[in-house]
Amino acid sequence: SIMPALLSAISSGARKGLLYKNGTQVEKMANVRVVAFDKTGTLTQGKIVVTDLVTFANDSHQLIQYASSIERGSEHPIAQAIVQYGLDRDVTLLPLTTMKARAGWGVEAEISGEHWQIGKPLMFSSLTDEIQETITKYEQQGQTVVLIGKEGHIYGLFALQDQIRPEAKMVISELRKRGILTAMLTGDQHITAEAIAAEAGIDLVFSELLPDQKVACIEKLKALHGEVAMIGDGINDAPALAKAQVGIAMGKHGSDITLETADIVLMNDNLAQISHAITMSHRLHRVVK
Ligand code: ADP
Ligand code: MG
């Protein structure tokens, strides 16, 4: 009978840090053809640090102060890195009149009646060749670049570095051995995404995606290759997790909405559990047949 096999799969999963929200999910991993990973915080550790600040204005201390003050209100790991960079340099955080976080873009805020923006380069309309070359230089090393500016003028550039999770390469090569495709779905810029994907061994890269484009991407992957499992941590991943055959959330630091939406939660944020989940579902499949 299926019951003892299912219970054994669930308990063995639980011991390894795999939480199934529903017993029917155990089996669903068996026919997954593509595993799609969010980049920041999922494929990478999400422990982002600022490695460089390039300023195009004269007072870099003040620019750091503005950047940290604006990012204070955002939960994004990039925001936390920039706030930390400011605190390490003893800046005093300024009061903001208004602050608006734009998912997948960055943050906009009013400081002393002036309109400030910090976020992805696409947030700014006119990039000089010099700025564009600097951005590309960092992105080719797998770093993420955010720009800060006021009233449309760019004043500085933060380069940020993240680390790939230590188990990522092994999991991705195991998936390949099983004939499963791997994909990266990220809001980050194309060059950065390609650099990280190459390091991890990911097959397909989809970059510069807004949250609803991640959903469209799941649909496209399904149409082309078959059932998709999507794994992510952020608010921006929740709709894609809901769309996928199996939605998987990073349990330790995943946002509430992502944990609620997921079918499976990786309690220890350990990607190796994905392989285990697939093994379990195949085992259960054999019992059912
Ligand atoms: P991912 O899919 O890799 O988790 P997001 O969709 O959350 O990335 O963000 C995409 C991009 O938007 C980031 O790479 C960054 O350039 C920009 N961004 C988002 N939030 C912020 C923020 N609070 N501060 C600066 N930039 C941000
Ligand atoms: Mg993320």
Atom of ligand 1 nearest to the CA of 79: 23
pLDDT tens for each residue of 33-47: 999 999 999 999 989
Domain count, the chain: 2
Q: Based on the fold, state whether residues 131 and 62 are members of the same structural domain.
A: yes
ipTM of the complex: 0.96
Tell me what pLDDT residue 75 has: 82
Domain at 134, CATH number: 3.40.1110.10
Q: What proportion of the chain, given as a percentage, has pLDDT over 90?
A: 74
Ligand closest to CA 196? 1
Q: Based on the fold, state whether residues 94 and 195 are members of the same structural domain.
A: no
Q: Based on the fold, state whether residues 172 and 273 are members of the same structural domain.
A: yes
Query: Can you say how many angstroms the Cα of residue 234 is from the centroid of all Cα atoms in its chain?
Result: 7
> How far apart are alpha carbons 18 and 20 in whole angstroms?
6
The H or E element containing residue 237 is: none
- The pick from 38, 120, 258 for probing ligand 1's pocket by mutation, whose C-beta has the most ligand atoms within 8 angstroms, reads 120
Ligand closest to CA 253? 2
Q: pTM for the full model?
A: 0.88
- What residue owns the CA closest to ligand 1's atom 15? 120
- What residue owns the CA closest to ligand 1's atom 4? 40
Task: Determine the Cα angle at 207 with ends 106 and 29, to 5°.
Answer: 110
Q: Based on the fold, state whether residues 61 and 127 are members of the same structural domain.
A: yes
Question: Which residues surround ligand 1 with Cβ inside 6 Å?
Answer: 38-40, 71, 74, 76, 78-79, 101, 104-107, 118-120, 144, 146, 186-188, 234, 236
Tell me the mean pLDDT in the region 193-221: 96
Q: Based on the fold, state whether residues 125 and 191 are members of the same structural domain.
A: no
- The pick from 76, 162, 257 for probing ligand 1's pocket by mutation, whose C-beta has the most ligand atoms within 8 angstroms, reads 76
Could you say which of 161, 185, 217 is where a domain stops?
Answer: 161
Domain at 245, CATH number: 3.40.50.1000
Q: Based on the fold, state whether residues 95 and 232 are members of the same structural domain.
A: no
Could you say which of 161, 176, 201 is where a domain stops?
Answer: 161
- What residue owns the CA closest to ligand 1's atom 13? 188
Active site residues: 38
Contact, 58 vs 51, CB < 8 A? no
- The pick from 100, 107, 161, 188 for probing ligand 1's pocket by mutation, whose C-beta has the most ligand atoms within 8 angstroms, reads 188
Structure tokens at 39: 């980049």
- Ligand 2 centroid–CA 18 distance in Å is 19
- Ligand 2 centroid–CA 46 distance in Å is 7
Q: Based on the fold, state whether residues 132 and 187 are members of the same structural domain.
A: no
- Ligand 2 centroid–CA 37 distance in Å is 9
Contact, 109 vs 116, CB < 8 A? yes
Q: Based on the fold, state whether residues 155 and 59 are members of the same structural domain.
A: yes
Q: Based on the fold, state whether residues 202 and 262 are members of the same structural domain.
A: yes
Neighbours of ion ligand 2 (CB under 5 A): 38, 40-41, 233-234
Tell me the mean pLDDT in the region 208-219: 93
Q: Based on the fold, state whether residues 67 and 168 are members of the same structural domain.
A: no
Is residue 211 pLDDT above 90, yes or no? no
Q: Which of residues 1 and 192 earns the better pLDDT score?
A: 192
Tell me the mean pLDDT in the region 201-209: 97
Q: Based on the fold, state whether residues 36 and 59 are members of the same structural domain.
A: no
Q: Based on the fold, state whether residues 183 and 274 are members of the same structural domain.
A: yes
Is residue 289 pLDDT above 70, yes or no? no
Range of the domain at 22: 2-44+164-288
pLDDT tens for each residue of 110-145: 988 999 999 999 899 889 999 999 999 999 999 999
Is residue 239 pLDDT above 90, yes or no? yes
> How far apart are alpha carbons 100 and 111 in whole angstroms?
12
Q: Which of residues 288 and 174 earns the better pLDDT score?
A: 174
Structure tokens at 29: 């991993």
Structure tokens at 249: 């959330």
Could you say which of 111, 129, 161 is where a domain stops?
Answer: 161
